[in-house]
Chains A and B, each alone.
Chain A
Amino acid sequence: MTEENNQDPEVDLDAKLEEMMLNLRLPDPADLQDEIDGITSSEALAEFEKKHLGKGSSIAGEMRNLGRLPQDQRREAGRRINEVRQAVQGRVNERQEALTVQERAASMAAEGIDVTVDHRQIPIGSLHLIQQVIDEVSDIFTGLGYHVADGPEAELAWYNFDALNTPPDHPGRLESDTMYLDYGKPEDEMLLRAHTSPVQARYMEQNPPPVYIVSPGRAYRNDTIDASHLPVFFQIEGLAVDENIKFSDLKGTLEEFARQFFAPDTVVRLRPHYFPFTEPSAEVDVSCFNCDRGESSCRVCGGSGWLEMLGCGMVDPAVFEAVGYDPDAVTGFAFGMGVERLAMVRHGIDSIRHFIDNDLRFLEQFQG
């Protein structure tokens, strides 16, 4: 469509006279208006357009005859034919616009849907809650300048125990606690790592200080499955080694973590404990995020106001010696937390078994 279509040239007497002189047979656009107005569908309008403007129309016929006219009449006749054609086209277009509005409205009225019913299901998967917690904790610590380190799960007993200052007769070494592998030479005893801490030792062997890492991953214990035990579970180990790491750094770091993970006003409490690879060692409680200082009805903390969350401590100098660091030059802290425990506490999960059942009804609840 061009702009000309909007100009419906007035058909005056002079023009009519001229038309007759030129002996042209053209319709009078004004005479067609009633017929156009009576058309009620786009299809019918297209028929009309074909009849009056198409190949078989009188306008098209006169256009074809133009060449037979004497030279001096051709120009004038051509102008006149065009004028009429545009006038008719303009009236058709105008009608088409009106019909389009009407027809679209009718069509929309007919194609309404009930927006309250799901007629299509677009499936979307879910990240395992354990993975979500691992990613979230990793992000908190990468924000503090940590790297995320990984290490083998089938591990040398040396990295799992000896490098971490665990005495030869520690009960954790018993087969009732730790799963051993039928593998390798007896002097290179191998096991499924009982914690993620061996990554500490391996990382320090490979990298000079300073070290700021977290290492999430599986750990293995010879535990029968019940509501609170799995033989394979996830831990996140943290390690910071630098020239001037102090006990307050450990406390502040865990507090920062707890505030980001649980709630901004979380308070952290460290209690002395015993681990072979840290000294001083501590167990860490975080204040309950669900109640105000321990309400007896609280189902998260059971009324104590505290949630036992993880173990930590200052890296034992013996560990530094085992990995070739100078214990007089650096200090450090380490911590280890159970991923299942973090998830269970924060999401009110009643049994640790859910984490390995892979029941879609459980997995899909946590879309993070």
Chain B
Amino acid sequence: MRVSLRWLQDYIDLPTEDPAEIGRAFDMLGHAVEETETFRADWTSVVIGKVLTVDGIPNADKVRVTTVDVGEAEPYQIICGAWNFDAGAIVPVALPGAVLPGDFKIGSRTIRGVESHGMICSARELGLGEEADGIMVLADDAPIGEPFETLLELPDVVFDLEVTNNRPDVMGMVGVARELAAWFDVDYRPPVIELATVPGEPDLAITITAPDGCNRFTAREVRGVTIGPSPLWMQDRLRKAGVRSISNIVDVTNYVMMETGHPLHSFDADRIEGGVLDVRWSTPGETLETLDGSTIELTPEDLVIVDEAGPTSLAAVMGGARSEVSDATTRVLMEAASWNPPTVMYTSRRHDMRSEASARFERGVDPNLAVMADDRACQLLVAIAGGEVLESQIDIVANAFSPISIDLAVRDVERFLGEGFDAQRCAGLLRRLDLEVSATDETLTVIVPTYRRDLTRPVDLIEEIARLADFDTFDSTVPTGPVGGLTPDQVRTRRLQTALRGMGLSQAINLPFVSPEELAAFGGGIGEVVSVRNPLRDDQSKLRQSLLPGLLRNVRDNLNRGARSVGLYEMARVFYARPWADDGRVPDQPNRLAVAIAGPFGPAVLGRAAAAADAEVALGIVSAIADRMGVEIGRTAAQPPGFHPTRTAELDLNGQAVGYAGEVHPDVVADYEIDGRVAVVEMELAPLVAPVAAPLMAPVSNYPHVEFDLSFDVPPALAGGDLVDATVKASILLERADVFDDFVHPESGQRSIAVRYRLRAPDRTLEREDIDGQRDAMVAAAAALGGTLRGES
């Protein structure tokens, strides 16, 4: 809502003209000032003149020579290229020495031997509009010789207000004045309506057959109207309000809308087929031709105004071409109707036709303003376009709105706002808003007029009291909760992130939308997928079931941007439809942790990058995570979709499958156009960060240790990890076991694993027989699984 200060002053005498102070008032009333724009006369030495003579110039058929009285002793001779005026016209004249917008300097010159002193100006040359098909012709009573800017309200300040959705009343100048009157505690004055009418009844029959869409339809007929441009003062105000000037008839409807907040529409009464109008829901297949010549398809949810020939207007949103006023219009039906807000909201969005009118109807225009707005429009119309208003007004009320009464307990005001709000103060503040208040010490009874449809409950009045008390005057106090802090899961989630960061991994955040192809790559099943009904893009309509597609995109993008290695992790939800999806519960949406690494991983030495990440890195990360989080994560070879079939492990934690670690399947890697291997981990987050029992200290022995190596031949069917685990479990004195070699003999194809064991006793120095006994037990345990000792040292 653009509010011109000079226009506003028609309705209120403000105690200040300081734009900053008025701007603050708007801000603190809740109508945030998005922009403050200053309007000034952007020219010098332009005066009002009267054209005395107009003559042709020999051999110059595009221009004419005029003499213009500018209030000086002698008229000025000025050559003019415009043809939209004759002798007697009152015009703006830029005198020699004038400077027009754009630093355009006006002087004297001679064309084909004819002198020209100054220029007769068009609206565009003065920066007042786009029109350039002629000079400005001013009102006949404009004072000759006076500066042109005296005809305009300049200088002026325009506040562009952000009016919240609940305040239709602030979408008109009168309502804005009422708000400022409350803030500054002064009076405001609505426009005075003096409507002269002639006897007569409109020759039109109007009905509302859709009362669920239309609250009230009010209209008057005005006869004998002369269409033309609207007067300069009205154009000037509309320009500042951000509304383009069309014609006097249309400008009046917009002007009164800006003034009262109630939109209006003008029909050419002679073009209403059959002289009947009805408000009804559209029927399938109906169309409407709009003013710009395009045709829109209507739906049964659209409310239309129809005559005998069908829809002639999309109610509240757009007039149709068929009954719109034109240059030939003389009989106007000036309509002020109010519509059901949701209908307007849906229709204006459906047809992408949002306008100043729809913005007001969506908020909810007060039907009780209709008669006033209609009368005001007719008053202005006859004043600027002539004609006469018929005495009888059409006024069909489909839904009546009445003021409501709200009881407000003073105690509740203090519960919300604190001390210092007694009945007297509250009543005083509410009365400043023009509300009718009767008060006892405990209760206020407040009558709310229908233009404040946002006030329906006591708490709504508490907000009004707080607003007018000025939010800036409230104290600052800080309450604290009884106990706070992070839960153990939250603490452990942070600890996990610290660990991942220490491994050189950076956190990524991706959108959760994926294409069906991306979903399928990691086994997203059709039956379990959750889809978005109204996705941003059709190829991003599924909710992810794996974090890997997003991370793979990030890996690819970073490599393409020149990164030599990429290590990322993400923690986020994945989404699974539940098989019993109609039980009213939301989809399963567990949090996951995923890691993706490509390129060298780990510290690099000058000139020599670390080895490229592969499945072993992924498994090492899992082990490191397990150590850091104090959990045991088991691994079994697995072939989940999307993963490398021979380099991937399924992970389990406390006997529960929690995810996978390994490499991405080469096919998928190729689909993402990545060169080389991508090491990945994806696992459920909840079991990982679930609290674990505080560990009890294991004794730290001060006795010396012994180390020895054993290497075993491993049969093909035996998992190496199982063999190592068996040897570890076989020794009660084992402190540590590290696999340091795992190889396949080239000739025999026999696989061997070499392990370095470290033994230490808690209570003594190990003797030879201790060591031998432990070693024998380990070898025996390996043998029990089929692993034979190959060598030792």
Interface residues of A (CB under 8 A from B): 119-128, 130-131, 135, 138, 141-148, 152-156, 168-171, 174-176, 179-185, 188, 190, 192, 210, 212, 218, 222-224, 230-232, 240, 242, 244-249, 251-253, 255-256, 268-274, 279-283, 314, 316-317, 331, 355-361, 363-364
Contacts and interface: CB of A to CB of B under 8 A. Distances in A.
A283 to B, nearest CB: 7
Nearest to A231: B536
A95 B221 CA distance: 126
B582 A185 contact: yes
A231 B484 contact: no
B533 A182 contact: yes
A61 B448 CA distance: 124
9 contacts: A127-B497, A146-B481, A168-B342, A170-B165, A175-B533, A240-B479, A272-B463, A280-B416, A280-B466
B402 interface: no
A125 B463 CA distance: 48
A363 B508 contact: yes
Contacts of A247: 416-418, 466, 474
B594 to A, nearest CB: 13
Contacts of B463: 272, 279-281
A234 to B, nearest CB: 8
Interface stretch (B138-146, B366-374, B563-571): B563-571
A256 B478 contact: yes
Interface string B580-622: 0110101101000000000000111110000000000000000
B587 A145 contact: no
B341 interface: yes
B30 A273 contact: yes
B459 A317 contact: yes
A145 B480 CA distance: 5
Contacts of A141: 484
B603 A280 contact: no
B192 to A, nearest CB: 31
A120 B602 CA distance: 10
B558 A358 contact: yes
B506 A126 contact: yes
A188 B30 contact: no
Interface stretch (B298-306, B328-336, B485-493, B646-654): B485-493
A148 B486 contact: yes
Interface stretch (B233-241, B509-517, B723-731): B509-517
B535 interface: yes
Nearest to B555: A358
B58 interface: no
Interface in B353-373: 362
Interface string B454-474: 000101101100110001101
B57 interface: no
Given A212-B481, A249-B477, A358-B510, A272 B532 contact: no
Given A168-B342, A222-B536, A246-B477, 7 more contacts: A120-B603, A125-B503, A131-B497, A154-B589, A232-B511, A249-B477, A314-B416
A182 B484 CA distance: 38
B482 interface: yes
Given A126-B506, A274-B167, A181 B512 contact: no
Contacts of B504: 123-125
Nearest to A361: B561
Q: Which of the four size classes fits the interface of chain B? A: 35 or more
Interface of chain A: mostly helix, strand, loop or mixed: mixed
Contacts of B462: 279-280
B509 A272 contact: no
Interface of B: 27-30, 32, 164-167, 341-342, 345-346, 349, 362, 415-418, 457, 459-460, 462-463, 466-467, 471-472, 474-487, 490, 494, 497, 500-513, 530-536, 543, 554, 557-558, 561, 563, 565-569, 572-573, 575, 577, 581-582, 584, 586-587, 589, 602-606
Nearest to A327: B459
Given A146-B481, A171-B345, A253-B478, A271 B506 contact: no
Given A135-B494, A242-B479, A271-B32, A182 B503 contact: no
A316 B501 CA distance: 42
Nearest to A257: B478
Contacts of A283: 32
A355 B507 CA distance: 11
B41 to A, nearest CB: 25
Contact of B415 (A223, A331, A361): A331
Contacts of A224: 536
Contact of B486 (A138, A252, A355): A138
A153 B591 CA distance: 11
A169 B512 contact: no
Contacts of A154: 530, 543, 575, 586-587, 589
B536 A358 contact: no
A204 B259 CA distance: 45
B604 A121 contact: yes
Q: Which 4 A-B pairs have the closest CB atoms?
A: A145-B481, A212-B481, A272-B30, A123-B504
Contacts of A252: 475-479
Nearest to A126: B506
A360 B531 CA distance: 31
Given A248-B476, A274-B164, A274-B165, A144 B506 contact: no
